[in-house]
Structure 1
Amino acid sequence: MTSKIPSTSRSLPIALMRAREGVMIPIREMLADTGITEQQWRVLRVLSEFGALDSTTLADRASLLFPSLTRIAATMRDKGLITQTRGEQDRRKQIIAITPEGQKIIDDRTEEAVQIVADFKDRLGLEKYEQLLDLLGQLDPGHRKE
């Protein structure tokens, strides 16, 4: 049977899902004893890098849907990993910041996270690694060069 749809072995969505799993395995192993999820890790990473953010910006930078962030943030607040306050100018905005406890999770795993990245760079080569990030960025509908 001839099909105009590419073989699943050459399907971009399927290849991206498989690659994501390959990328996430060492990250899941790193997080195994932390008591936090992959999504919570992303929230902490973004807050550690950018400082306090409004929840809309945080959801975007952590690649989370806003309703998911609302639920995740409540859990993280209860664990003492983040704080949530109302914006000074716009009281409707919620500002989320990392706590020292949340920063400690990042700090305690920085060396391991850096090694995970180094392993991917070794596997692909630095040029291909950077090219891959650039190419994936072009598929991001909110693409921003950082």
Structure 2
Amino acid sequence: MTSKLPSTSRSLPIALIRAREGVMAPIREMLSETGITEQQWRVLRVLSEYGALDTTTLADRSSLLFPSLTRIASTMRDKGLITQTRDQADRRRQIIDITEAGQKIITERAAQSAQIVADFRITLGDENYETLLDLLAKLDPGSRD
């Protein structure tokens, strides 16, 4: 006996993928002039917000797999957007920090990025926007109680 699957129009995984594409389209457009990827943008955003971080924490806060961060960080270091140093207390740990060039990308796009968020808030309404973030956090295994 086969269980009846929900319509793809009411499938949570499919709805999340469609919503992600809708959310990312204006961000991709904003980044098209920068020469950086969405993942690199996330790394810069996190470093700009939190300051220097070890690679494990940075990968987690950037929603990247550790091996992906390793590859992305190498590219970003070569572009002069981040620095990588060894932790003085534990030489096995790498510390990554944003450079002036990396911060400049964030600063130059802060207003445009804020407008993208404002547009989503207008579309959803402030209360729905906050509720959506709260509901999505419940699906994040890293934020469950």
Q: Tell me the TM-score range normalised by the shorter chain.
A: over 0.9
Letter paired with 2:9: S
* Counterpart in the other structure of 2:116: 116
Deviates more, 1:34-43 or 1:5-14: 5-14
* Counterpart in the other structure of 2:73: 73
Alignment partners' CA distance in 1, 2:69 and 2:135:
27
* Counterpart in the other structure of 2:10: 10
Q: Give 1:88 deviation, angstroms.
A: 1.1
**Matching of residue 141 in structure 1 with residue 141 in structure 2:** yes
SS of 1:104's partner is helix
* Counterpart in the other structure of 1:125: 125
Can you give the 5+ residue segments of structure 2 that lack an aligned partner in the other structure?
Answer: none
SS of 2:85's partner is strand
Give CA deviations for 1:35-73 in whole Å, capped at 9, x if unaligned.
000000000000000000000000000000000000000
Cα distance change of structure 1 residues 46 and 144 upon mapping to structure 2, 3 Å threshold: farther
In the superposition, the TM-score normalised over structure 1's length comes to: 0.96
Give CA deviations for 1:96-125 in whole Å, capped at 9, x if unaligned.
000000000000000000000000000000
Residue correspondence of structure 1 range 82-97 to structure 2 within 5 A: 82-97=82-97
**Displaced runs of 4 or more, over 2 A:** none
* Counterpart in the other structure of 2:49: 49
In the superposition, the TM-score normalised over structure 2's length comes to: 0.97
How large is the RMSD of aligned CA atoms in angstroms?
Answer: 1.2
SS of 1:129's partner is helix
Residue correspondence of structure 1 range 17-36 to structure 2 within 5 A: 17-36=17-36
Count residues in correspondence: 144
Q: Give 1:4 deviation, angstroms.
A: 2.4
Q: Give 1:3 deviation, angstroms.
A: 4.2
SS of 1:95's partner is strand
Percentage of matched positions with identical amino acids: 77
* Counterpart in the other structure of 2:62: 62
SS of 1:40's partner is helix
* Counterpart in the other structure of 1:105: 105
* Counterpart in the other structure of 2:39: 39
Alignment partners' CA distance in 2, 1:7 and 1:92:
49
Give CA deviations for 1:13-44 in whole Å, capped at 9, x if unaligned.
00000000000000000000100000000000
